[in-house]
Amino acid sequence: MKELQHLNKYFLKYKYRIILGIVITIVARIFLLFTPRLVREIFTVVEHWNNNTITDISVFKQALLENILLIIGASIVAGIFTFLMRQTIINVSRYIEFDLKNEVYQKYQQLSLNFYKQNRTGDLMNRITEDVSRVRMYAGPAIMYSINTITLFIIALIYMFNQAPKLTLYTVLPLPILSVAIYKLSKEIHKRSTVVQEYLSKLSSSTQETFSGISIVKAYGIEPQTAADFNSLSEESRQKQLDLVKVRSFFFPMMILLIGISNLMVIYIGGKQYIDGEIESLGTIAEFIIYVNMLTWPVATVGWVTSIVQQAEASQKRINAFLKLTPEIANKTQERHVIEGNISFKNVSFTYDDTNIQALKGVSFTLEKGKTLAIIGKTGSGKSTILDLIGRLYDIEGGELLIDGKPIDHINLTDLRNAIGYVPQDAFLFSDTIKNNIKFGKEDATDEDVITAAKQAQVHKNIVKFNKGYDTVLGERGITLSGGQKQRVSIARAIVKDPVILLLDDSLSAVDTETEEKILKHLNTLSKNKTTIIVSHRVSSAKNADHIIVLDNGNIIQSGNHSSLVKQNGYYKDLYLKQLSE
């Protein structure tokens, strides 16, 4: 229960609803427990009629009618309160589920990229869905059934002991056996359903992957192979489902068996006691049979609840493991900063933790606000890493990275990120309209702003050709757009933000040189007062930059501007001549 203490703050938050729920549960049980006693009353009235203690038929009828009406009344009240019981306690569990999901989600958002590399997406999804659902079962049903069982048991036992103590002992004897049996069964069911869940997620992730890569699957004609893989996986999944169904099928027969045994004991022991004159009325036997049936389900839930609590504890442990993590990239200052856009790298080095690859080895350059830097270099030379460090997606390992003369980690992280417009290498678009994808850069952008940005990114003409124009909904990862269109929508998203620092990571690679030229021309005007960094493999993207650096294996091997670099022998000149001839 140590891990579940995390939920105490939520219980405190909803304490009034919970207290109300407990009171309602108790009231519901009290009314429910009127029935057995009223049934006994009816039996007694009938017995009195039989042995002529009551002789007047109207008195007899009156007594029967009163008891029947009381049973109906008590059942209606119990029903209403049972409805309210679920409406309060189960609702609280839904509120807690909602809060916990948000808490985990907020945490995910704070954690750095390294965290995402170390944990599989499926695992992250599972903790926020499956695990939170299991914890909800503890926060709602487990608590509700526990209060239910305790109330019902205490009140019923008091009534039963008052009525027939010996019979009570015999009646409740099989109940703990039922509880233990249900506990064991619930554990087995849980074990098997976890396996079923694993298979279901394997099935869905494999299907998802196949459909995402459907063009490759079709192009290589490997449909039979993927179908066979799917078939064998679903075959295994089916077997696991059947294993689960088998244990589940035991649940109700076992309940019925144990209820039957308890009923028989009541009838046998109660009957003997009646014959021996130890109990006065047959009504007591009828009353006890109703008690047994009423108590069986709550007793069974003791086992079930125990297993729910154990599962919730395990799930909360997994959730807590993430909640306890401190983000590697922390905002160290609450002081607000107006970023001007001066960037300075002084002997910066950086190694990726997971691969141990040293991506930057003492890189130094200075970029004044409003100026443009182009970074050229072979693939894997560290170009994107420089941009990631400016966005503080990672912290540098050695040297100094200064923004407006201040170490980057002394700058308010929100202000830094708000000042940056980043166009990544792999243009990621959300499954939303084109307009919203562009507005993502600036929530309060007007339609006009969106159109202007799209025009500057040379994608407006393409967008208006779609039937729904800017309201065209993009599929998963924007599949309805071509690579170049996606890149340009992504550029429009950065333009609309009107950032102080604009970072373009090879974001013109999929557009033709003519369109590239147009976009760069617009960017030139737009970036007059913006600090711009353009990462590219093309000299055409770099040639107008104020400063150009050439990276190789994490080192700057050349720097200058276009005219000085084409005069030097080296990578830049070779690339220039090669691309010129192309």
**Sites of contact with ligand ATP (CB under 6 A):** 352, 354-355, 357, 359, 377, 379-385, 425, 506
Rounded-to-integer distance, Cα 331 and Cα 369, Å:
23
Whole-number minimum distance, CB 434 to ligand ATP, in Å? 26
Rounded-to-integer distance, Cα 443 and Cα 359, Å:
35
How large is the greatest C-alpha to C-alpha distance in the chain, in angstroms?
A: 126
Q: Which is nearer to ligand ATP, 170 or 352 (CB)?
A: 352
Q: Which is nearer to ligand ATP, 163 or 381 (CB)?
A: 381
Q: Which is nearer to ligand ATP, 301 or 507 (CB)?
A: 507
The values of phi and psi at residue 378, to 5°, are -65, 165
The pair of structure tokens assigned to 78 is 């119990």
Q: Which is nearer to ligand ATP, 183 or 572 (CB)?
A: 572
H/E stretch holding 57 reads helix 57-85
- Tell which residue, 297, 246, 285, 249, has the closest CA to residue 144: 297
Q: Which is nearer to ligand ATP, 299 or 549 (CB)?
A: 549
Collapse the DSSP code of 548 into the 3-class scheme (helix H, G, I; strand E, B; otherwise coil) and give the result.
Answer: strand
Confirm if 1 and 315 have CB atoms less than 8 A apart: no
Whole-number minimum distance, CB 516 to ligand ATP, in Å? 17
Q: Which is nearer to ligand ATP, 385 or 541 (CB)?
A: 385
Three-point CA angle 483, 489, 491, nearest 5° = 105
Rounded-to-integer distance, Cα 74 and Cα 80, Å:
10
Q: Which is nearer to ligand ATP, 382 or 421 (CB)?
A: 382
Whole-number minimum distance, CB 215 to ligand ATP, in Å? 23
Rounded-to-integer distance, Cα 564 and Cα 571, Å:
13
Whole-number minimum distance, CB 505 to ligand ATP, in Å? 7
Whole-number minimum distance, CB 377 to ligand ATP, in Å? 5
What's the sign of the alpha-carbon dihedral 60, 63, 66, 67?
A: negative
Whole-number minimum distance, CB 554 to ligand ATP, in Å? 7
Rounded to the nearest 10 degrees, what angle do helices 15-32 and 34-50 cross at?
A: 10
Whole-number minimum distance, CB 361 to ligand ATP, in Å? 11
Q: Which is nearer to ligand ATP, 509 or 561 (CB)?
A: 509
* SS3 of 118-176: HCCHHHHHHHHHHHHHHHHHHHHHHHHHHHHHHHHHHHHHHHHHHHCHHHHHHHHCHHH
Whole-number minimum distance, CB 320 to ligand ATP, in Å? 27
Q: Which is nearer to ligand ATP, 326 or 379 (CB)?
A: 379
Whole-number minimum distance, CB 565 to ligand ATP, in Å? 18
Rounded-to-integer distance, Cα 48 and Cα 45, Å:
5
Confirm if 10 and 88 have CB atoms less than 8 A apart: no
Sequence-distant (6+) residues with CB within 8 A of 340 are 369, 404, 500
Whole-number minimum distance, CB 524 to ligand ATP, in Å? 23
Burial 72-104 (b: 16+ CB within 10 A, else e): eebeebbeebbebbbebbbebbebbbebbbebb
Q: Which is nearer to ligand ATP, 138 or 576 (CB)?
A: 576
Q: Which is nearer to ligand ATP, 158 or 357 (CB)?
A: 357
Cα 324 to its chain centre, rounded Å, is: 17
Burial 414-442 (b: 16+ CB within 10 A, else e): ebbbebbbbbbbebebeeebbbbbbbbbb
Whole-number minimum distance, CB 355 to ligand ATP, in Å? 4
Whole-number minimum distance, CB 387 to ligand ATP, in Å? 8
Rounded-to-integer distance, Cα 167 and Cα 175, Å:
14
Confirm if 373 and 381 have CB atoms less than 8 A apart: no
Q: Which is nearer to ligand ATP, 283 or 391 (CB)?
A: 391
Residue the block writes with tokens 């609803």: 17
